[in-house]
Amino acid sequence: MEDRGSEKTRASNIIWTAAGNYAFKPEMRAYDERGKADIYWNQVIGAAHRYYEFEKIIEFFKTLEGDRSAVIFRNLMWIGIENGTYHKGFEERPAIVSLREAYATKTLGKWEGKDPYDEVDEIEIAHYRKALGLNVEASPLALKILSELEFDASMDTDAIVGRMNRILEGYFEFLPLDENNIKPKRAKRGRELVHLGGRRRLSQGVPFLKRLNIGTAEYNGEIQFGVDETKSGVTLQLLKIRNKWEQDQREYIRSHFGEPLIEGDKTRTLEGMLCTGSHSNCHLHLTRGEFIENEESSQVRKARTRQRESNLKHYDESHARNSNLISKLERRIRNTMLTSMEATKLKSESGSLVIEKVWRNVYLNDDKVFVRTLHEKTMDLCVDIMLDGSASQMSRQESIAAQGYIIAESLTRCGIPVRVFSFCSVRDFLVLSVYRDYDDSRRNKAIFDYTVAGFNRDGLAIRTALHLAGEGRFQNRILIVLTDGDPNDMHGMSISGRLPGRKEYAGPAGVEDAAREVRKGIQSGIAVIGVFTGQDRNVEAAKKIYGHNFARISSPDKFADVVGVLLQNELANMI
């Protein structure tokens, strides 16, 4: 693609953020097949700047120039760097877990039903299957190379360059120059080394593709086709494999997000109702983030604990201001509730005298010739607060946690039942993480457990939130969504018609899908409010999704005023 414009700027920003350094000009950037800045690989490039001496990596790449396999060798090197930066940054930047999973899933999806073209493809497929915790099927030689190629967190720049040199020499017969860089040596068995662009290749080496013996073998995964196998038998086996795949995915989601609130058939019933249309083949996982103790869950919980501490620290640094915002928002809500209470006049023995009724006291001994005005609360109300928990909110998660807490605490003080949860999409699952429920009036601090991962399938999230809102207990319902206004899910969306298939869930298609769900919610009597937490370029998209019930917070001090006005309007309309 042509490296220019907004995508170039976006790629550079991702690299600088991951590197933790804005004082260099990126020498390389990564783009996807659409020419868009690739979030994950630009993060890898930035992390390579952060953890390694990047100029040495560039020098290594220069030694490959001029060889017919230079692209293959660079790609292998990047697989190793990707693995190394992931393990170096896992604890420091827990959000890379979901970014990596999303990229791995997307990469494997491209190979579904296809054979790998060459040795690098087979190694790449094996690498990303390992990253997702899936069974790896590859030749012994490819697995051996991969085991050496997956650099670990202990290796510095010199170690990874040294390891890569040994891989190229041992498996590809591609050697570095000797120390004096003058003339070639003779290899064992008398084969001549040919100088090629800073390296020397054994001219009579056996092609690596043939040694791996791939490109002709059928790649069927777990499916074994026999000559006597019937069509129904194949269908049954495919169904079993699909169910096993789904079970493995559910176990993975469980291990990374916590035990489900609803199990088995109940979950599938809910999916049958909600995961339809453009969201068919999606799945749901509702959780409180409670884990069964094991090594994997222990790592996840440690990362979440670090993020909670960061969220709380950010809130406490502006504690006075935040407390004032809570009080301001509480007063706005209370005033709206008081002015909206239904006034009923009742006969009473005290209160305001009704002159025309005095005769009843004189002639009928009726003491109730006064009236008393009774303000009767008629609000049967709950509020759901849904936080966008996708990785695109990584740089804003502390402020989003604070905003969610401020709204929830204000409503709680007014006696309004509140539920707070976040949403994200990982693999083909919509994950809803519940921090506090309607009856958990003392659990608002649990909102600081908020952390981000994966993508954001706003349409399905809004559809699910609206379906669950109130759970039949409340007549009046409000859904507040803290959103970046940028629906984006690599899983894509189903399309029907003469040629059914899938298309990208992003851009205008994602915006329209989310807007459609908001309209359905309003038509069903549920108020939907969007509080914008994203970048300037997504403001118009957020307006299209939420219409007039859209708030953009220009500064933290305006938060209570802006959100308060929206809540006032909705509360007033309900009674």
The tens place of each residue's pLDDT in the chain, 575 residues long, gives 444 467 788 888 889 988 888 888 888 888 877 778 888 898 999 999 999 999 999 988 888 876 667 777 888 899 999 999 999 887 777 778 888 888 888 888 877 777 666 667 788 888 998 888 888 877 777 888 888 888 988 999 999 999 998 888 777 766 654 444 433 333 343 333 333 334 444 333 333 333 333 222 222 222 222 333 444 444 455 555 556 667 778 888 898 899 999 887 889 899 999 999 889 889 999 999 999 887 777 888 888 999 999 999 999 999 999 999 999 999 988 888 776 554 445 555 566 666 777 666 666 666 766 666 544 444 688 999 999 998 888 888 999 999 999 999 999 999 999 999 999 998 789 999 999 999 999 999 999 999 998 889 999 999 999 999 988 888 889 999 999 999 988 777 876 544 445 678 888 999 999 999 999 999 999 999 999 988 888 899 999 999 988 888 877 777 878 888 888 888 777 65
Residue 503: CB partners within 8 Å, gap ≥ 6? Answer: 492, 493, 495, 509
> Between the CA atoms of 354, 357, 359 and 360, what dihedral angle is there, to the nearest 10 degrees?
-120
Q: Which two tokens stand for residue 132?
A: 């997702």
Using DSSP, state whether 528 is helix, strand or coil. strand
| Dist CA 264 CA 274 (whole Å) | 16
Residue 324: CB partners within 8 Å, gap ≥ 6? Answer: none
Q: Which two tokens stand for residue 214?
A: 């791939």
Half-sphere exposure for 500 (CA within 13 Å, toward CB): 5
| Dist CA 292 CA 573 (whole Å) | 45
Beta-sheet strand order (sheet of 370-376): 342-348, 370-376, 352-353
* Look-up of token digits 């069927």: 220
Q: Which amino acid is at 556?
A: P
Is-contact 274 286, C-beta < 8 A?
no
| Dist CA 185 CA 67 (whole Å) | 18
The hierarchical CATH code for the domain 295-333+379-574 is 3.40.50.410
| Dist CA 490 CA 505 (whole Å) | 7
| Dist CA 412 CA 433 (whole Å) | 20
Handedness of CA 103, 108, 111, 112 (dihedral sign): negative
Residue 294's CB is within 10 A of a number of other CB atoms, namely: 10
> Which residues belong to CATH 3.40.50.410 in the chain?
295-333+379-574
| Element (DSSP H or E) covering residue 463 | helix 458-468
Nearest CA to 401 out of 456, 435, 450, 454 is that of: 450
Q: Which amino acid is at 551?
A: A
| Element (DSSP H or E) covering residue 361 | helix 358-364
Is-contact 434 406, C-beta < 8 A?
no
Residue 8's CB is within 10 A of a number of other CB atoms, namely: 16
Q: Which amino acid is at 390?
A: S
Nearest CA to 371 out of 388, 404, 346 is that of: 346
Q: Which amino acid is at 322?
A: N
Is-contact 132 99, C-beta < 8 A?
no
Provide the pLDDT for residue 402: 95
Provide the pLDDT for residue 420: 97
| Dist CA 151 CA 346 (whole Å) | 80
Q: From its phi and psi, is residue 432 left (phi > 0), alpha (psi between -120 and 50) or beta?
A: beta
Using DSSP, state whether 152 is helix, strand or coil. coil
Provide the pLDDT for residue 515: 96
The CA–CA distances, whole Å, from 252 to 46, 95, 300, 427 equal 28, 16, 12, 10
pTM above 0.85, yes or no: no
| Dist CA 204 CA 201 (whole Å) | 9
Is-contact 570 548, C-beta < 8 A?
no
Is-contact 328 564, C-beta < 8 A?
yes
Phi, psi of 150 (to 5 degrees): -80, 85
